[in-house]
Amino acid sequence: MHIETRTLTFREQYLNTLLFEKPDRVPLFPGEAREATQRAWREQGLPQEIGYYEAMLQELRLPSMKFSLDRLPISFAMLPVFEEKVIEHKDGHFLVQDWSGAIVEISDEYDFTYLRWPSKSIVTRKWHKFPVESRSDWEQIRERYLVDTPGRFPEHFAEFSRSLDDRENAVYVHVDGPFYQLRSWCGFENLCMLLIDDPEFVQEMIDFWTEFISQALSRTSEHITLDRVCVSEDIAYKAHSMVSQDMVRTFFMPTYERWASEVRAAGCPVFDIDSDGYVEELLPMWIEAGFNVCHPMEVAADNDIVAYRKRFGKKMAYVGGVDKRAMAAGGKAIEDEVRRLTPLIKEGGYIPSCDHQVPADVSWSDYLYYSRLLAEACGWL
């Protein structure tokens, strides 16, 4: 007797993969392309009328689908934001006040949206002033982070959440970690000095941020069980953590552990940490704190997820880890890269993707070739 098997939803494929269960296929997400990359691809044959992901699926003769990881419309940012305004325009540069209150210098070929959404393109900028440079600054900034501020949650959030009860997509929220948020408030160098010169002030800001996010997540979990909570915590350079492991354990681990406990108690299965740079020395602490997924695993920073799997086993799953330099080289280089990662794909706990957004030196033809190899490894072809 023939028994017809059901194709899993994206949500099931996503969770089964990252939780080391048995998906029918691994989600196919070769990588998000920057604006400049997409412009280059349009000139190289990407059709004008459709997006690059759909065009890739058509080229591979795969059914229309999407990488259905949908971010809930909840704001964890300051409310209200600062007025965006040009302070000075001189010698091809804007000096602007951005939405966070920082005074920033950028090339005049860009507009404010590149400061709101830096993922659109890599934009070199120079900071002249940060929102928090004194305790009086801090007292004013903290008033912009109230959980009950109108606009933080969508209107009719309970009804909106009920509409997602039988969803086939995976839903998530993305919050800033304590290091990332304090760096945004104070600036990197200023924060590093404060960690040494005024640790009590640093702890006060961390405690405030920890409580704010905890309250917002609690309010969210009253209405919906999330599939993923992602913490942005860019805390690593190419070779080392930006701060010492002792500082991570002293200042930031308590926040990670509290959030992990609360996320787990709310029934969310994926607690994901996002950090660029070399993260091997941080992974043991993140695992201890309760994270079970890490991305984007930049290869140029010497992250080797094959070696990490041997060391950490199934305590950590990964997303990313495909060397963008191999993608740009194409041909045998990308064949070797996918071959290197295929055993990890088959083992589970890994969704392969570009180890950051796809840069413009990756051609459209090479992206398609790489996507075909990835589709084969993930079970789609």
Do 145 and 93 reside in the same domain of the chain?
A: no
pLDDT band at 65 (very low <50, low <70, confident <90, very high): confident
Q: Does 202 share its domain with 346?
A: yes
- Give how far the C-alpha of residue 146 lies from the chain's centroid of Cα atoms, to the nearest Å: 24
3 state DSSP class of 338: helix
- My answer on whether 233 and 246 are in the same domain is yes
Domain around 243: 10-78+132-377
> Does 3 reside within a domain?
no
State the pLDDT confidence band at 1, using cuts at 50, 70 and 90.
very low
The per-residue pLDDT for range 329-353, each reduced to its tens digit, is 999 999 999 999 999 999 999 999 9
> Do 313 and 357 share a domain, yes or no?
yes
Q: Is residue 5 part of a domain?
A: no
On the question of a cis peptide bond just before residue 296, with omega within 30 degrees of 0, the verdict is yes
Residue identified by tokens 């990756």 is 362
What pLDDT, on a 0 to 100 scale, did the predictor assign at position 356? 86
362: which DSSP letter?
S
In this structure, are residues 318 and 350 in contact, taking their beta carbons and an 8 Å threshold? yes
Residue 71 and residue 101 in one domain: no
In this structure, are 33 and 49 located in the same domain? yes
Domain identity same for 188 and 326: yes
Q: Are residues 246 and 309 in the same domain?
A: yes
> Three-state SS across 291-308?
CCEEEECCHHHCCCHHHH
One domain, residues 107 and 59: no
Residue 359 lies in a domain: yes
Residue 1 lies in a domain: no
Residue 330 lies in a domain: yes
Number of structural domains the chain divides into: 2
What is the distance between the alpha carbons of residues 309 and 352, in angstroms, rounded to a whole number?
Answer: 14
User: Which CATH number fits the domain that encloses residue 260?
Assistant: 3.20.20.210
Encode pLDDT of 175-231 as tens digits.
999 999 999 999 999 999 999 999 999 999 999 999 999 999 999 999 999 999 999
Q: Judge if 372 and 299 occupy the same domain.
A: yes
Interhelix angle 331-347/305-312, rounded to 10 degrees, is: 20
Residue 337, Cα to own-chain centre: how many angstroms? 22
- Bond from prior residue into 80 cis (ω within 30 degrees of 0): yes
* Residue 4 in domain: no
Q: Are residues 32 and 113 in the same domain?
A: no
> Is residue 313 in a domain?
yes
- Provide the 10 A C-beta neighbour count for residue 301: 18
Q: State how far the Cα of 142 lies from the Cα of 65, in Å rounded to an integer.
A: 42
- The model's pTM is 0.93
Claim to verify: residue 302 and residue 213 sit in the same structural domain: yes
